[in-house]
Amino acid sequence: MKDPLDGVTTFLAVAETNSFTAAAQRLGVTPTAISKAIRLFEKRHGVVLFQRTTRRVSLTDAGQAVCLRLRPAAAEIAEAFLSLSGFREKPIGTLRITAPLSASYLLSPLVPTFRRTYPDVTLEISFDDALVDIVADGFDAGIRLGDSVEKDMVAVRLTPEIRWSIVGAPTYLAAAGRPKKPEDLVRHECIRYRFLSSQVIHRWGFKRGRREFLVDVSGGLIVSDRRLLVDCAAQGLGLAFVTDREAGEHIEAGRLEPLLQAFIPSDSGLFLYFPERSQTQLKLRVFIDMLKEGPPPIQS
């Protein structure tokens, strides 16, 4: 079995899949060849790197330590080889993007056009509201609020600042009254949002002058879907903490009324971010261009 990294590629394939069979499928060889290569690799370096059972393969402490060092080095070497071929002068490979659920409206109109335009790029989009280490988790880029993007990343603004409001339906407000200040919310029925990844319930944050504070609201309805959150508020089930974009159509139609906007600070807006070295990848550059400009209209 030819291995330009002298066993490192095989080692990383097994480490990442926890399986000789899956590693063999990834590398296009037999599980027996993988097993033999790992034995030679361990013998060469004089240390056991994997614990093996009939059901599972897992890294030893030594294997974990060397894997953490080898993975970024192997990625750099792989990129060097790809750069020599110039990606065959067109975008190819797999492009992995992580984004919060709230960014789906940016990506939904782009994906069909991107796939038609760049069929040699496999586009993988993972929606996750939690913060993600894109380097450690193998993503090419991420989309998050600007305030949460690490300083050593290249960040490209995708949206203006995001405005938030407390919203309520006219029927609810007629029955329960309108809160005049954030503290009034403790006497209202509030629809709360639970983040899918962390399972944490969103706490409602406000600002008065220079002081920022939280109000712990309560209510009999908790949801994990932003669209359902807005729809339930529009049906008069309680107040909701949402962005202007999420509630915009309902507000314009008079089904929801924005409240307490003067007390809610704006978010920084959504940014696409990635390591500086990644911007040389053609597959990422064309994605950035299309995301910034928007997909071209479909020709009839």
Indicate whether 15 and 63 sit together in one domain.
yes
Contact 294, 114 (CB under 8 A): no
Three-state SS letters, the chain: CCCCCCCHHHHHHHHHHCCHHHHHHHHCCCHHHHHHHHHHHHHHHCCCCEEECCCCEEECHHHHHHHHHHHHHHHHHHHHHHHHHHHHHCCCEEEEEEECHHHHHHHCCHHHHHHHHCCCEEEEEEECCCCCCCCCCCCCEEEEEHHHCCCCEEEEECCCCECEEEEECHHHHHHHCCCCCHHHHHHCCEEEEECCCCCCECCEEEEECCEEEEECCCCCEEECCHHHHHHHHHCCCCEEEEEHHHHHHHHHCCCCEEECHHHCCCECCEEEEEEHHHHHCHHHHHHHHHHHHCCCCCCC
User: Mean per-residue pLDDT for 295-300?
Assistant: 45
In a domain, 3, yes or no: no
**137 and 275 part of one domain:** yes
Residues 196 and 57 occupy one common structural domain: no
Q: Indicate whether 156 belongs to any domain.
A: yes
Bigger pLDDT: 27 vs 278 = 27
Choice between 219 and 73, residue whose per-residue pLDDT is larger: 219
Same domain flag for 55 and 182: no
Cross-strand pairs, 145? 270
The band of 231, judged by pLDDT with boundaries at 50, 70 and 90, is: very high
d(CA 89, CA 111): 22
Bridge partners of 271? 144, 157
Q: Are 155 and 272 in contact (CB under 8 A)?
A: yes
Q: Which residue has the higher pLDDT, 54 or 243?
A: 243
Specify whether 239 is located in the same domain as 275: no
Task: Give residue 1's pLDDT.
Answer: 45
What pLDDT is attached to residue 139?
Answer: 92
User: How far apart are the C-alpha atoms of 196 and 226, rounded to whole Å?
Assistant: 11
Q: Are residues 100 and 17 in the same domain?
A: no
Measured CA to CA, the distance from residue 153 to residue 142 in angstroms comes to 10
Q: Judge whether 205 lies within some domain.
A: yes
Helices 31-45 and 8-17 pack at an angle, to 10 degrees, of 110
The pLDDT tens digits for 139-180 are: 999 999 888 888 889 999 988 888 899 999 999 999 999 999
Instruction: Determine, yes or no, domain membership for 82.
Output: no
For residues 186 and 218, the answer to whether their CB atoms sit within 8 Å is yes
In a domain, 81, yes or no: no
Query: Same structural domain for residues 107 and 95?
Result: yes
The answer on 284 and 207 residing in a single domain is no
Range of the domain at 59: 8-70
Domain assignment present for residue 79? The answer is no
CATH code, 37: 1.10.10.10
Residue 275 has pLDDT above 80, yes or no: yes
The pLDDT value given to residue 132: 83
Task: Give the pLDDT of residue 300.
Answer: 37
Which pLDDT belongs to residue 5?
Answer: 64
Where residue 168 sits, what CATH number does that domain have?
3.40.190.10
Please check whether residue 249 lies inside any domain of the structure.
yes
Instruction: Classify residue 237: in a domain, yes or no.
Output: yes
Same domain, yes or no, for 130 and 172? no
Count of domains forming the chain? 3
Same domain, 145 and 278: yes
Q: Read off the pTM.
A: 0.60
Q: Which residue has the higher pLDDT, 56 or 241?
A: 241
Statement: residue 90 has pLDDT above 90: no
For residues 154 and 275, state if they share a domain.
yes
Residues 256 and 283 both lie in one domain: no
| Tens digits of residue pLDDT in 80-89 | 766 656 545 6
Q: What is the mean pLDDT of the chain?
A: 87
Burial class of residue 197, CB neighbours in 10 A (0-12, 13-18, 19+): middle
